[in-house]
Structure 1
Amino acid sequence: MHFNSRYPQLPARLYHQQMPLPLKGAKAGHFNAALAEQLQWSEEDKAQWVEICSGQKTFAEFEPLAMVYAGHQFGQWAGQLGDGRGLLIAQILDQQGQTIDLHLKGAGATPYSRMGDGRAVLRSVIREYLAGHALNCLGVASSNAVGFTSSAQGVQREKLEPGAMLLRTSDCHIRFGHFEWINQYQPELLPEFTQKCIEWHYPECLQAEQPILAFVSQVIQRTALMIAQWQLLGFAHGVMNTDNLNITGSTLDFGPYGFMERFRPNWINNHSDYQGRYTYQQQPSIGHWNLWMWLNNLVALCPENYDKEQWKQDLAECLEHYEPTFLEHYRNGLNQKMGLPRFHKDSFDCAMAFLRILQSEQLDYTQSFLRLQNREYDAIKDDCLDRRQFESFLSLYNTIREHQNLAELDGAMALANPHYILRNHMAQKAIELAGRDDFSEVDRLFKLLSQPYLKQRDLEQAEDLAPLPSDVPEVMVSCSS
């Protein structure tokens, strides 16, 4: 590994250094060899991946640390939070020279654990391992994981479950909540911390007339892009607290996430979300709310000889670009999924008509786009109770596509519509087998999700392609992990 240990350069009040506490009887779960190669792991590192991913081996070049941050959880100020069960164990350079965090999840209690035990259970580790891999392969910026380990040690949740550890990678673990903690508890650290964030993650902004405003604009644009990509894939994060969004617009902190199956925009995929705050349809507005809360913490960075009211207005004007940025990416992406020309005046209305059909008929989101792509119009219509609604849509759809370059539109369609998403029941099957020390299904799903836009008949199973039957209870996922 090529180390670039930079987070410890920050004031010590921003973290607590401690060693991980390995679980008893650690054993191999699954290893992402391609990612290890990308991260320039040596052959020795690869041979010791179980020891590294179970907290038994650390590195002289980096003393593990837990970060402190705060946050708004479910819309309410939650005060001090922090890495309650995870440790940053290294920062290394990948093959492109980018600094990547290695974060060990389930590494034991820290000063920020509050009432938690600092552990992770096997089911949540597998869900995060597969989800990060799936999103990366779908083209969405996300944390990923080098591997995970199971153990013989039990961890108490609603019941006793196998303990596990995950070695998560991300381009950034600095969250909106870091700024909230600093602004609330150590405001004198805010200028230095913000400067380091810009130097490390947005160095091009240093050349701007107002580097902080340039930094803010970049964070807003990347967040808008990420959420637009979530919406296009039917991905619901489930817990969009301010401490679960980072400053590089890469997906972080998988809890009760879900890839939507039947198209239900108000679907509550997190059964701890009693008010439905974090439903799929709410994600764009919650992204805006979280950014607004983040910007409030930057008011104190008003430059000298700069009118403070003007500074507030400038920050607010940066946020005004969030909605049009989101809509641009979403509209263009939805038109691509539909095989419709981007600049036709009726394309987006036609796409929304299709979504209304999926919603009213409760059709599968992913498979319906594939059917449209394959011109299986009769198959879609046969699944509709209101066949005339579909016929009206299809007439408009064909009219718009008439006289267009269909080969080009269909080619773009194939790049936007995956054959495979990680359905909750797929992950659940892998979890149940892993609980019996059988990781074959984890391996199958890992391979299947590695090429989601490519049909893989030798790997796929029938249950990968459709929701559970309506008379089968859906898999329940909550914040417990």
Structure 2
Amino acid sequence: MHFNPRYASLDSKLYHQQQPTPLRGAKAGHFNESLADELQWSEEDKANWVEICSGQKTFSEFTPLAMVYAGHQFGQWAGQLGDGRGLLIGQILNQQGQTIDLHLKGAGATPYSRMGDGRAVLRSVIREYLAGHALNALGIASSHAVGFTTSTQGVQRETLELGAMLLRTSECHIRFGHFEWINQYAPELLPEFTQKCIEWHYPECLNAEQPILAFAQAVIDRTALMIAQWQLVGFAHGVMNTDNLNITGSTLDFGPYGFLERFRPNWINNHSDYQGRYTYQNQPSIGHWNLWKWLNTLIPLAKPEDKEQFKHDLAQCLEQYEPTFLQYYGQGLCKKMGLPNFHKDSLDCSFAFLGILQSEQLDYTQSFIRLQQHEYKALRDDCIDVQQFDNFLTRYQNIRQHQDTDELDLAMQQANPHYILRNHMAQKAIELAERGDFSEVERLFQLLNQPYQKQPDLETEQDIAPLPSDVPEVVVSCSS
């Protein structure tokens, strides 16, 4: 590995250095060898992956550390938070020369654990491992993972479960909550910290007339893109607290997530979300709210005489969030529909299709696949209100009739996955893994690696359909 240990160059108030606390009886779970290659792991590193991914082996080039941050959780100020069970164990260069964080989750208690035990359990580790893999394969920026390990050590949650560790990667673990912590507890660190964030993650902003405003606009743009991409594939993060969004617009800290099956935009996929704050349909507005909280932490960077103008400028930056999101989402939705985004009726027609999926409770992913494959009769047969569908189809075909349909159909193929990680798919893999059988993790890993390609030799009937209506859904909680 080629190390670039830059986070430890920041003020020591921002982190606590300590070694991981390994679990007893660490055992191999699953290893992502292609990601290890991308991260320039040596053959020796790959041979020692179990020791690295279980906290038994660390590196002389980097002293592991837990980051401190704060945040708003479910809309309420939560005060000081931080890496309560995770450690940054390295920062290394990938094949493109980009610095990538190695973050070990489940590594034991830290000063920021509060009432937690610093551990992770096997079910949550598998869910995060597979979801990160799935999102990256879908083309959505996300944390990834080199591998995970299980153990013989029990960890108490609602029941006694197997302890596990996950070595996840991301180009950035700096969250909106880092700025909230600095703003509240160490405001003197804000100028240097912000400067480093720009240097490390948005160096193009350094040459702007007002680098901080350029930085703010770039973060807004990437956040809007990420959430638009979530909406397009039906991904619901489940817990969009300000400490769970990072400054580079890549998906992070998704525990009680879910991919939509039947199209229910108000589906609460996290049973700890009692008010439905983080439903799929609320994600765009929550993104705006989180950005508003983050932008407020930048106000102290202005000189006193410039503060009012700076606040006005930041507000103008935030005003671009909604049109930026709508642009990304609208263009992506037209691709999914096989409609030209320049046509005046394309978006209205697309929303009419979504309305059918919602009223008829059709499967989101497979309905787009049927549309892509021109299986209009199969879609119609699934509808109770066939007149509504017929009206849509007439409108849809009228828009397409004078277009280059080959080009539109190709765009559809590139925008509509055959496979998503349905909760019952992950649950089956978890149940087998808890009995020591990781074959289903491996099968799903391979299946989700190429979600836009049909894989009849790998897929099962359960991969392409929601659970029957009389079978209870898998319920996911924050307990992990």
| Same structural fold, with TM-score higher than 0.5 when normalized by the shorter chain | yes
Counterpart of 2:162, as a letter, is: P
Mapped partners of 2:297, 2:219: distance in 1:
14
Counterpart of 1:123, as a letter, is: R
Aligned match of 1:378: 377
1:150 aligns with 2:159: no
1:391 aligns with 2:390: yes
Mapped partners of 2:20, 2:473: distance in 1:
36
Mapped partners of 1:260, 1:434: distance in 2:
24
1:455 aligns with 2:449: no
TM-score after normalising by structure 2: 1.00
SS in 1 for 2:23: coil
Counterpart of 1:460, as a letter, is: E
Deviations 1:333-353 (A, max 9, x none): 000000001100000000000
Aligned match of 1:110: 110
Alignment of 1:252-291 (within 5 A): 252-291=252-291
Deviations 1:23-58 (A, max 9, x none): 000000000000000000000000000000000000
1:126 aligns with 2:126: yes
Counterpart of 1:401, as a letter, is: R
Deviations 1:403-447 (A, max 9, x none): 110000000000000000000000000000000000000000000
Counterpart of 1:207, as a letter, is: N
Alignment of 1:373-452 (within 5 A): 373-452=372-451
Aligned match of 1:243: 243
TM-score after normalising by structure 1: 0.99
Mapped partners of 1:71, 1:254: distance in 2:
16
CA shift for structure 1 position 303:
4.2
Mapped partners of 2:192, 2:338: distance in 1:
48
Counterpart of 2:308, as a letter, is: E
Counterpart of 1:285, as a letter, is: S
Deviations 1:318-376 (A, max 9, x none): 11110011000000000000000110000000000000000000000000000000010
| Identity across matched positions, percent | 81
Mapped partners of 1:318, 1:334: distance in 2:
25
Mapped partners of 2:407, 2:106: distance in 1:
47
CA shift for structure 1 position 308:
1.2
Mapped partners of 1:262, 1:303: distance in 2:
52
Aligned match of 1:180: 180
Aligned match of 1:194: 194
Which portions of structure 1, spanning 4 or more consecutive aligned residues, are displaced by more than 4 angstroms? Answer: none
Mapped partners of 1:377, 1:358: distance in 2:
13
Mapped partners of 1:332, 1:396: distance in 2:
19
Aligned match of 1:15: 15
Mapped partners of 2:168, 2:111: distance in 1:
21
Deviations 1:64-104 (A, max 9, x none): 00000000000000000000000000000000000000000
Counterpart of 1:97, as a letter, is: G
Deviations 1:164-194 (A, max 9, x none): 0000000000000000000000000000100
Aligned match of 1:345: 344
SS in 2 for 1:166: strand
SS in 2 for 1:415: helix
Mapped partners of 1:402, 1:457: distance in 2:
32
Aligned match of 2:471: 472
Mapped partners of 2:14, 2:186: distance in 1:
9
Aligned match of 1:333: 332
Mapped partners of 2:128, 2:79: distance in 1:
26
Counterpart of 2:332, as a letter, is: G
1:84 aligns with 2:84: yes
Deviations 1:119-173 (A, max 9, x none): 0000000000000000000000000000000000000000000000000000000
SS in 2 for 1:152: coil
CA shift for structure 1 position 254:
1.5
Mapped partners of 2:335, 2:223: distance in 1:
21
SS in 2 for 1:139: coil
Gaps (5+ residues) in structure 2? none
CA shift for structure 1 position 214:
0.4
Mapped partners of 1:370, 1:312: distance in 2:
46
Counterpart of 2:220, as a letter, is: I
Aligned match of 1:37: 37
Mapped partners of 2:211, 2:350: distance in 1:
39
Deviations 1:234-285 (A, max 9, x none): 0000000000000000000011000000000000000000000000000000
CA RMSD of superposed structures (Å): 0.5
Aligned match of 2:356: 357
Mapped partners of 1:128, 1:394: distance in 2:
38
Aligned match of 2:307: 308
Mapped partners of 2:115, 2:341: distance in 1:
51
SS in 2 for 1:460: coil
Counterpart of 1:444, as a letter, is: R
Alignment of 1:40-55 (within 5 A): 40-55=40-55
How many residue pairs match? The answer is 480
